[in-house]
Chains A and B, each alone.
Chain A
Amino acid sequence: MDAISDRAFTETAATTAQNIHKVIDETPSLLTVILDVHPLEWKKYMEQNENVEFRHVTSAMLVMLNSHLALNSGNEVSVYVANSFYHGAKRMFPVNEEVLAEESVAVKKEKDTNGSGIVGDNDADGDDNDGDDDDDDELIKVRPKTKTGGNKKKKSSLLKSRGVYGQFKAIDEKILDALDEMYKVEPDRLRQIISKEKNFVKGTMTGAISTALTAINKLQKSDDKLNMKARVMIISVSGDNTLPYVSMMNTIFAAQKMKVSLDVCKLGEKSIFLQQTSDATNGVYIDIKHPSGLIQYLSSALFIEPLLRPIVVLPTNTSVDFRASCFVSNKVVDIGYVCSVCLCILSMVPSDERCPTCFSKFEHKLITRMKRKPKVLPLEVKKKKKTPE
């Protein structure tokens, strides 16, 4: 437990007059961006902020990545998506060619089985669906070609490339392509994702964070990039109800141990778990109040190199809400109950008087005592009658 609760970010104390120059020296670092693409939350957000579009956020993100790359020739970037219903948490950049090839095969197979599974429906659906299916088929055929470079010219039109520095262009195009493909493959109807055999939706934010942390760990252990500093920036639109509490806490502890800061750029409503995340990992949590000025946030508040953290006053929200969420209802708890065996947090007394997590039996007497309703007298002083229970 000590190792877990150890506040891993105590580098300030270690920096002394002797090693100040070494510490603040410019060393290359990795910037990982996790983009929340939850379709329903985006819909909600775009309805609330009319002049914000997903493409604006994507463009701002690309500009941020470019500026990170511009700072140091050794700097690296990577991009993940989270909360995509179909793909789950997935790395968009840098693309692993092998995985991609495998995936395309898998996707194709899945498509085929899906298609065969609901053949009748498809036929009956009529023109709309047919058209889509065609599109998809075409895509699958096309994708290997784009990777080999056959169709590159057609694809690169997604980025207006005039005047863009070549290296940025290469990376930005790749990221845009990947996002584009992701959306193209994503089924048009939720029905196609939620079917009887596969009635869950993949890819939470925690999944994306842990994938990112794994990749960072791998990078930091590799010989040529040994101990490269890294930070993660999360662009989130979803609320706390999409965050599984226990996994979230586990990823926080993992990041803490790896000394990787998690910055949070929060669009839409506040998220107390993400607040806790950045608080525990010496990161920056910032609620975006002016979404059209997003690039300003990204290039200043959320642009602090890991090495500068000990000496910079972070523009983070310091009043952190430390509440936890109920393990059963997944709602944030004000006053709740805690299982004395496994410490699971409950917002209500479970009806079977057992802990829903570890199945320890609770004492019946205590539960009945806890459930007893408070007894009070009515306010009229004249009536000295005790209220019936």
Chain B
Amino acid sequence: MLIWRCADSNATTNLVELPLDTVSFLQATPATSDKMLLKIGLDSDKEMLFGFNSRKVMDTVKTSIQQIIARKKTSISVEKEKEADAANANQALAAGTSAGGADGVKVPQTSGSPDTPDDGVKNDEFLADLLNSKKLMKNLALQQRLLRDNVKLMRTFTEAVIKEGMEAEEFWKSRVHLLRSFAIQNNQKKGPYNVLSTIKPVASSDNEVNVNVTRDKIKEIFKQYPIVRKAYDDTVPRMSEGEFWSRFFSSKLFRKLRGEKVNLYDRGDVTLDKYLYFDPDYDGEEDVNEEEVGDHLVHEEKAQELPSHASLSSKAQKKKRKVGASEQMVKKKKVKLFNEVDSAVSKCLDLEGNKEDDPELRGNRPDITMKDDQDPELVGILRTMNRLSRRLMSDITEEAPLEDLDLEFEKELELNDLDETDEVEYNELKYTQTSNISSNIVPSELITKVMNQSNLNPESCEYDEIIKKLKDEFTVEFDLTCVYRNMKQEGKKQNDAYRDINNIVKQNSKQSQQSWNSNLKELLGLPSSAATTSAANNSLTRENTDYDIGIKINLDNGKIESVKLTHATSIEFLRQFWTQFNRTAASTPTTDPNFKSDLIKLRKYYFSVRKCLSRVEAQLARCKDLKERQVEKQMLTPLVEALNAALRRYEDSIVKSK
């Protein structure tokens, strides 16, 4: 049973219940799309559409339902397992919540926070599983999804497999790489990124500013900006979550964290902007400490957050309103002091490195962050960005185990220059020019003929004749004016030549028009708008001009498509034929237990190639217009040649029994 209920426990009205064994298909929006919808089709031809606001949650739901259905279909499911899975699904589903918003800010509700499973290890196994060719071949769902995704492939598939009866397994066998890349593409995970920079307020039609935030993004924000989390913790019980976020996005704090410059006269938010003056290093310094300890950031943060949260909330409960900003200032100082005392100074300082990096030694101004009179705003922004990247980086190293720091120091201390240098070894190739000698310019038959001639009364060979003629040519005076006169005498040959050159240039210019146009614009310093429009035009007309066969194609798109389809299908069968042909050629009855069946299979493929040829002929015959047929014929000639070559090769290989 699939139960869809509102996470808000008091809204019991919109409850959806589906018996799982009636589910007939699942369809989810691809990972690339912004929407997160899951379509569930039922046996009763009903379809339900579920919207999610977290892809992770949706994927979990999808996979669990998929598993359930798969089990149901193979009918090896034990009732208990099913229930367990269903329960799992329910749990996951609980995370999917309806979207609500205040002040035009669309924010999911707080309750029922997602309990997504930690997919670190699971993902790895999953991937290894995915890349296994055998499993890929069996993964029908994946294949279907790929087909749905790739229209071109779908067309080939329907033509070759469904209509012409090629085995689906054969079809996929030659396309395992596609399946693999598709599987990987669908299971890729996004690394940490600067969340705030991706949030862009959008002005709506009714003069409201809308900001779309997903739960994932909020999670990321909390992770990357502990200060926001702190502000949230401090304020949210008092104001609603929606209000908090809407105020946050219009606050100066938001601008500052994003790395924008905060103007004094900007409209801010009184409550939240006090966090501007909160020690910015409040967490950053701690991060450094914790990194050295080698803990994971998330865990530390959680650990860190808990006591502080506890203390804070208890404090907050006691003297809620009395102590405002001043309290926090004290706390900030505490934190700072604590850090200064405790922060360990690295014992290994790279003095040489410092010398190298000091710009002042070279007569330059000091680094932007090191100047006395530097605008604190600017430095602040730089620091914020640095802090952010530090956090992001520490998040990534979470996956790769940190290298032992001691080892690193040891490496640094090693005196590498005393090591013996590795000598580069080369494998000497003795290149001999067997074919490269210039004697090639005289055919060897002629040489032997000349060499074997008796010296007495030698026959004159081809060379002797021509050299005499060439010599004679230099006995007559050269008149350069005859160059043009001759041409005229022979009937305006210069016009033929001119036309010849012109045709080539026309053909080439068509091909290079696009790049040429933009080049010219660039050369003349003009905006390249014309170039882009011509590019757009090109892509529009491309359908008809994209073929380099030296003819103009005046066919309508439908005809071109049908030619393309015939071509693609035939290539499919050809591919199959050659794969099998080469495989059987390399194997013997002793090495291959299926040798006999392979031979029979090969013969089957031979006949399907033959059928392809007749299909091409039928395609041409279907074309009534003579001119069009000519064009189609020209387009298909290479294919016909390829098909005939395959047939000929097979026929040649038949050993005639006596």
With contacts A290-B497, A387-B655 taken as known, whether A244 is within 8 angstroms of B433 at the C-beta atoms is: yes
A40 pairs with B462, CB closer than 8 A: yes
Residue of A nearest to B442 (CB): A201
B585 pairs with A293, CB closer than 8 A: no
| Stretch of A13-21, A91-99, A219-227, A272-280 lying at the B interface | A13-21
Which interface class (under 10, 10 to 19, 20 to 34, 35 or more) fits A?
Answer: 35 or more
User: What are 5 sample pairs from A and B whose C-beta atoms fall under 8 A apart?
Assistant: A85-B442, A160-B478, A189-B461, A290-B497, A290-B500
- Within 8 Å by CB of B650, from A63, A373, A376, lies A376
Residue of B nearest to A56 (CB): B486
A386 pairs with B599, CB closer than 8 A: yes
Which interface class (under 10, 10 to 19, 20 to 34, 35 or more) fits B?
Answer: 35 or more
Tell me if A43 is interfacial: C-beta within 8 Å of chain B.
yes
Q: How far is the CB of A121 from chain B (nearest CB, A)?
A: 4
- Within 8 Å by CB of B441, from A204, A327, A386, lies A204
Chain B interface residues toward A at CB < 8 A: 427, 429-443, 446-447, 450-451, 453, 455-458, 460-471, 473-474, 476-484, 486-487, 490, 493-498, 500-501, 504-505, 507-509, 511-512, 516, 519-520, 522-525, 548, 581-582, 584-586, 588, 596, 599-600, 602-603, 606, 649-651, 653-655, 657
Q: How far is the CB of B452 from chain A (nearest CB, A)?
A: 11
Tell me the chain A residues, 339-389 only, with Cβ under 8 Å from chain B.
341-342, 356-359, 369, 372-379, 381, 385-389
- Within 8 Å by CB of A290, from B443, B496, B512, lies B496
Tell me if A7 is interfacial: C-beta within 8 Å of chain B.
no
B466 pairs with A184, CB closer than 8 A: no
Residue interface mask A275-300, B partner, CB < 8 A = 1: 00000000000101110111111001
* Residues of chain B lying within 8 A (CB to CB) of residue A176: 474, 478
Q: How far is the CB of B195 from chain A (nearest CB, A)?
A: 37
- Within 8 Å by CB of B498, from A164, A296, A342, lies A296
**Which 5 pairs from chain A and chain B are nearest by CB?**
A17-B525, A293-B497, A293-B493, A296-B497, A374-B585
Q: How far is the CB of A352 from chain B (nearest CB, A)?
A: 13
With contacts A183-B471, A359-B430, A375-B653 taken as known, whether A329 is within 8 angstroms of B494 at the C-beta atoms is: no
Per the bound structure, the CA–CA distance linking A191 and B442 in Å amounts to 12
* Residues of chain A lying within 8 A (CB to CB) of residue B479: 59, 160
- Within 8 Å by CB of B464, from A54, A184, A189, lies A189
Residue interface mask A123-140, B partner, CB < 8 A = 1: 011000000000000000
* Residue among B433, B455, B462, B523 with most chain A CB within 10 A: B523
Per the bound structure, the CA–CA distance linking A203 and B432 in Å amounts to 19
A244 pairs with B440, CB closer than 8 A: yes
A357 pairs with B484, CB closer than 8 A: no
Q: How far is the CB of A292 from chain B (nearest CB, A)?
A: 4
* Residues of chain A lying within 8 A (CB to CB) of residue B458: 189, 191
Tell me if A194 is interfacial: C-beta within 8 Å of chain B.
yes
A374 pairs with B649, CB closer than 8 A: yes
With contacts A160-B477, A315-B508, A374-B653 taken as known, whether A244 is within 8 angstroms of B438 at the C-beta atoms is: yes
Residue interface mask A291-325, B partner, CB < 8 A = 1: 01111110011000000001101111111000001
Residue of B nearest to A179 (CB): B474
A160 pairs with B436, CB closer than 8 A: no
B465 pairs with A43, CB closer than 8 A: yes
* Residues of chain A lying within 8 A (CB to CB) of residue B478: 55, 58-59, 62, 158-160, 172, 176
A172 pairs with B497, CB closer than 8 A: no
Q: How far is the CB of A261 from chain B (nearest CB, A)?
A: 16
Chain A interface residues toward B at CB < 8 A: 12, 15-17, 20, 37-40, 42-43, 46, 51, 53-56, 58-60, 62-63, 66, 83, 85, 118, 121, 124-125, 157-160, 163-164, 172, 176, 179-180, 183-184, 186-191, 194, 199-204, 207, 238, 241-242, 244-247, 286, 288-290, 292-297, 300-301, 310-311, 313-319, 325-330, 341-342, 356-359, 369, 372-379, 381, 385-389
- Within 8 Å by CB of B446, from A190, A297, A342, lies A190
Q: How far is the CB of A54 from chain B (nearest CB, A)?
A: 5
Number of A-B contacts (CB under 8 A): 278
A313 pairs with B505, CB closer than 8 A: yes
B474 pairs with A301, CB closer than 8 A: no
- Within 8 Å by CB of A244, from B436, B465, B501, lies B436
| Given A313-B509, A342-B431, A387-B655; 12 other pairs, CB 8 A cutoff | A43-B466, A55-B478, A56-B483, A66-B480, A125-B457, A244-B438, A313-B508, A319-B548, A372-B588, A376-B654, A377-B599, A377-B602
A55 pairs with B440, CB closer than 8 A: no
A186 pairs with B525, CB closer than 8 A: no
A51 pairs with B490, CB closer than 8 A: yes
Per the bound structure, the CA–CA distance linking A341 and B426 in Å amounts to 12
B429 pairs with A327, CB closer than 8 A: no
A63 pairs with B483, CB closer than 8 A: yes
Per the bound structure, the CA–CA distance linking A297 and B501 in Å amounts to 7
With contacts A59-B483, A199-B447 taken as known, whether A385 is within 8 angstroms of B657 at the C-beta atoms is: yes
Q: How far is the CB of A376 from chain B (nearest CB, A)?
A: 5
A188 pairs with B468, CB closer than 8 A: yes
* Residues of chain A lying within 8 A (CB to CB) of residue B494: 293, 295-296
* Residues of chain A lying within 8 A (CB to CB) of residue B446: 40, 190
Per the bound structure, the CA–CA distance linking A242 and B496 in Å amounts to 30
B450 pairs with A190, CB closer than 8 A: yes
